[in-house]
Amino acid sequence: IILLKQANARTSILYLYLSFLSMLKRSSLALPVVTVPPHNVNKNTTTPMLCIIIVTILLLSLTQSLTVVMAVDRSKFRTCQQTSFCRRHREGRSTAAFDYALIPESIRFTTARGPAEALLSEQEPQNEEGEPQQDQGNDADTPMNQQHHGIHGSGYYAKIKRLLLRKDKDAAAAAAAAAAADGQAVDKLDPYYRGIEPFFTATLVNQSPYSYWYGKDSESSEDLKLSIYLHDDGVTRMRITEDYHQSQASPSSSDPAFATPRWTSDELILNHGQFKAFPMEQVHVLDKVELEHLLAKANIDGGDDGNDDGDNTENYTAMRFGNLSFASPFTTTGTTSTTLEETSVLILVQFYPFAVHMWRYNMDTNNIQTDSPIVSFNSDQLMHFELRRTKEDGATEIKRQTESEVQSPSLTTQEDKHGGKEIVGYWEDGLAIYADGTREEKVQEEPSDAVGIDRDATSSVETKNNESTVEFHVDTDGMWEEKFGDFIDSKPFGPMSVGGDILFPQSKHLFGLPEHASSTLLKSTTGSGAHYKEPYRLYNLDVFEYELDETMSLYGEVPLIVSQSKISDTVGVFWFNPTEAFVDVKEVGNKEESIQTHWISESGVLDLFFLPGPSPQAVYEQYGRLTGHTPLPPMFSLGYHQCRWNYRDEADIFQVHEKFEELDYPYDVLWLDIEHTDGKRYFTWDSNLFPHPLFMQETLSNHGHKMVTIVDPHIKRDDNYYIHKEATAKGLYVKDKNGDKDYDGWCWPGSSSYLDFTDQMVRNWWATQFAYDKYKGSSSSLFTWNDMNEPSVFNGPEVSMQKDLRNLNGIEHREWHNLYGTLFHRSTSEGLIQRNADGNSRSFVLSRSFFAGSQRYGAIWTGDNQSSWDHLKISIPMLLSLNVGALSFVGADVGGFFGNPDAELMTRWMQAGAYQPFFRGHAHHDSKRREPWMFGDEWMRKMRNAAMARYALLPYWYNVFREANISGMPVMRAMWMQYPAIEELYHIDDQFLIGSDLLVKPVTEPGATESLVLFPNSDNWYDVDTMTMMETDTKKGQFSAINVKSDIDKIPVYQRGGSVIPRKLRLRRSTEMMIHDPYTLYIALDKAGKANGLLYMDDENTFDYDRKEYFAQANFEVEIEQYIRCVATGNVEWLTSQPSSSRRIERILIMGVQKSPTSIMWGSKPIEFQYNEQNLVLALKVDLSALQSWDLSLVAE
């Protein structure tokens, strides 16, 4: 109506119609579009246009009940087939070019006395050719540096000499002498490595005659350096790099790409300061007899040792070390593990074909625990390591080896697809916005070939496999330059991919590799009956409107896989490589059901950490030592967060706040999105909309609430913007591919530059920007949200940066892309800590992008989800997968970011969110307002009940986060994490546990009145609302499947028998107002009438719990026919500083009590109690301190 009142009404009608068409474009409807340019609008077109608008409105009204289908624009994102390094190596396509063997004479062990040669010792008789005269055997008591470990047999040695070395004996002797001169050469020549000393080093050589770098006639070879590191907790690190010693020592090595170490991120990601080596003098290297015994039992492929006598011990060496541990009941004051003295780790290294296997070893029986290894590397010979080469040298080598022309046409000519139109911006979908008001149309590209070996730019050779001839193709397309869409990757070092296969024998269940919108259980991507056609991709991207049940990349990645098996128990593998990767999952079942994974990374080095377990608790203790633990979050961050893109102004903020207060609806934080800034300049405020930011924050803070503002990594290129001006002057931005100019990309502010967070100087500078005197209008109650930090670049390839951009040290973006979001997150978190003079207040920062170790810096959310039941349902396995990756503080936007949830969906999502670690409602600016009261009083009360349940359980949430802080164990746990003996629960990802004691089954179907819950029969389970025990049937197996009531007022939540859960039941407006509220203890008895649990307490805001050990813990123990006991422990100074009225316990509720006691006494004082015979609940009214020890005596009838 307003538009029609304008003078140019007809033009306004056209624009109104186009607006409707824009709305339809987001939906699944397809309507005819009539395009009429504005200058042609006249009186003859007005009437029909009005009719079209009316019809459009009617159609929209008729489709209100339909689900709006949103789909990702797949043309923006690459598949494996469109990615040269993945296409080249997937499914064994490059296997013929890589055939690795370990050179026995290069093996070196490091003892407590220093490096020791294993093979070329003076005690070994040698003939005039430098070969051993005979196998000397081994004596178990022989010093390690004099042992030969049975690997000098003449048959194998001759084969190695003939097939592997391909060098004259003088060159071999020189290499051996160089190795003997400095056992730590690899580490000294690699400035990026961080960690312990290697125990075992050796040289690997690619002995394939069809290598596309060095062929059968070449005098050179592809040598790699293998290092194995033994950690004190049984973790084994295997690192394979280019042979930097050889490249720098050899005068013939002229390629500068090969002569310098590959960049790795040890310093940035690994918690290397906490690494501890297993004492080297205690490592046991197996002798020949022990090897024979091992190989007789081990279920592995034996390799080819060249012996005719059946003795293949010469093809192996093995080492045994460590004492594994399992987790004991969680305590915050001591260790969380108990040593299993009888269990150690055994590593078997196979020389040819090269492979590494891990077992758990039982010291009592002097044998491996299972015939098959718990994990194996390169058992299927899929390992590859492409050496870096310049285009000129590399292309020449490939041409010489294949005797065919390498076709790598220049890709520098770029067609102008914009037709000469002036581009004034880009939207998040990457399409251009033109000066004439039009937008670029999406062009559907033809799909690429399915196999990729018949492309024009392909070279081939013939290889012989036994008696058959197989044609092997070298796919050279994309080796030296690669095009995707309009973007060209210059690849100055050519192909430099690394990869290999990791086998999990006797396992059918793998988990991890977040983030994907798929099940928690990893499903097959290749092989017969594969669930997916594409491998899991690990490349952090801004995926707009992502689809479900897909392996395509999302916002973050953690390259961690955890295997759970009833036979091999729990084992993990951490693939420490932050470059883009694809991971295939394949079910294999020759002798036994197993799963093989095939990892293909674009660059970096082969750096694997094997986590031997044997339990989920042990694996997460081990992984936590590698990448760090989750710090305790400030208590307010565990409350409810209310967000929207965007709250309009200060008046809007106050109105929302006041409505929460009026309705007694608890919340802790209000959020502001990008529109609060001055023109998308972060650290600023729009002076018209938010003229008094400090007053706004103070007003909310006085009521116990906080605020969060968004700060993204893209910096508006405006010389009048102080952040950009200073960053430019200091040279802090990521550079172009030549390393000269600051990179210019497009994001929300328009033309933007991006800070180089891989540089410590830049991170430090960024942290200082959060100082109160720099971030004007900020206060101690203002916290931060990091979005778009994949990084998102609207006009970049795949909505991100080009891979050949450079950081300040000249390292290409491809090497650190997946780290960018984590390093931005880290720097922001450090800034919030440093802004206070004492640096003692905990930070809260939410990030969309992440990598391994992000758990140290704050919370993560699942990005731009949709308002649909399917997205509510997928949020649970997505969050469980993040927890598998040790990211505990995670959540999904309640209600869905895009779209408009109805009241039922919003309510169910609020109920689900109340039992997820990070609890935030959020919405897109095109979505209708959806604060809880927007759905009417009845629905608001249902949502408020869910929020109240969340706030009541905050003491328990805090307990579980403390456990994660100490042990690394996830907060939100898949069922197998707590019940690894029940194989039927391994695949379950629609129910979960909070800690060990609360089982939750969110309702994710519309109109549901019942839900199927699977209860482990080893424990009792109590409904948290009725406090009645569930009737499980132990005769039917290890679990009971029960249909429970779950109407709209009910979310199925159950407390485990044998546990004690503290709650606070006062209704308050925020967590800050609850700190002195009394506790109610909910005690659920196990089958023996016992229970135990704890209550962890600190100031809920500072780092004093860590720096000064200012905390206390109440440890509860219950035997229902005898006593209820509290043993208080903690820092005396902190305990005595607490008000006597705080940390009180006012009620104790005990579930599963079969009969009432006659009396309950606290010393000589009787305790008032009531017993409910119907639901078997005993209720005690008490006034006890959680900071003091006490005993209540129960006298039975």
* 975-977-982-983 Cα dihedral, nearest 10 degrees: 90
Helix H or strand E encompassing 46 = helix 43-62
- Of the residues 790, 815, 1072, 1086, only one is catalytic, namely 790
Of the candidates 894, 898, 1096, the residue with the CA atom closest to the CA atom of residue 330: 1096
| 931 in catalytic set | no
CB burial of residue 675 (10 Å; 0-12, 13-18, 19+) = middle
- In this structure, are strands 482-484 and 1079-1084 parallel, antiparallel, or unpaired? unpaired
| 756 in catalytic set | no
Amino acid at 965: N
Of the candidates 1186, 1074, 1043, the residue with the CA atom closest to the CA atom of residue 1124: 1186
C-alpha span between 930 and 564 (Å, rounded): 41
Phi, psi for 512 (deg, rounded to 5): 120, -150
Q: Tokens at residue 1169, please?
A: 């109690």
- Sign of the alpha-carbon dihedral angle for 810, 815, 818, 819: negative
Of the candidates 560, 705, 659, the residue with the CA atom closest to the CA atom of residue 1070: 705
Question: Do the Cβ atoms of 254 and 394 come closer than 8 Å?
Answer: no
* 663-669-675-678 Cα dihedral, nearest 10 degrees: 130
Q: Tokens at residue 853, please?
A: 């170790």
**Given the structure tokens 């294993």, which residue do they identify?**
118
Q: Tokens at residue 989, please?
A: 């990802």
Of the candidates 521, 645, 553, the residue with the CA atom closest to the CA atom of residue 896: 645
| 787 in catalytic set | yes
Of the candidates 998, 1060, 993, 1047, the residue with the CA atom closest to the CA atom of residue 1023: 998
Tally of CB atoms within 10 A around 59 = 13
Question: Do the Cβ atoms of 651 and 985 come closer than 8 Å?
Answer: no
CB burial of residue 18 (10 Å; 0-12, 13-18, 19+) = middle
3-state secondary structure of 595: strand
C-alpha span between 109 and 355 (Å, rounded): 18
Burial profile 132-147: b = 16 or more Cβ within 10 angstroms, e = fewer: beebbebeeeeebbbb
Of the candidates 450, 666, 674, 912, the residue with the CA atom closest to the CA atom of residue 893: 912
* 815-819-820-821 Cα dihedral, nearest 10 degrees: 160
Sort residue 355 into left (φ over 0), alpha (ψ -120 to 50) or beta. Answer: beta
Helix H or strand E encompassing 319 = strand 316-321
- Of the residues 440, 475, 815, 864, only one is catalytic, namely 864
C-alpha span between 846 and 47 (Å, rounded): 51
**Given the structure tokens 């009969």, which residue do they identify?**
1155
Tally of CB atoms within 10 A around 17 = 18
C-alpha span between 614 and 1139 (Å, rounded): 44
Distances from the Cα of 1088 to the Cα of 1118, 1121, 1152, 1169, angstroms: 11, 10, 10, 22
- Of the residues 787, 893, 989, 1086, only one is catalytic, namely 787
- In this structure, are strands 669-672 and 458-465 parallel, antiparallel, or unpaired? unpaired
Cis-peptide into 132, omega within 30 deg? no
Q: Tokens at residue 120, please?
A: 């070329």
> Which positions are annotated as active-site residues?
787, 790, 864
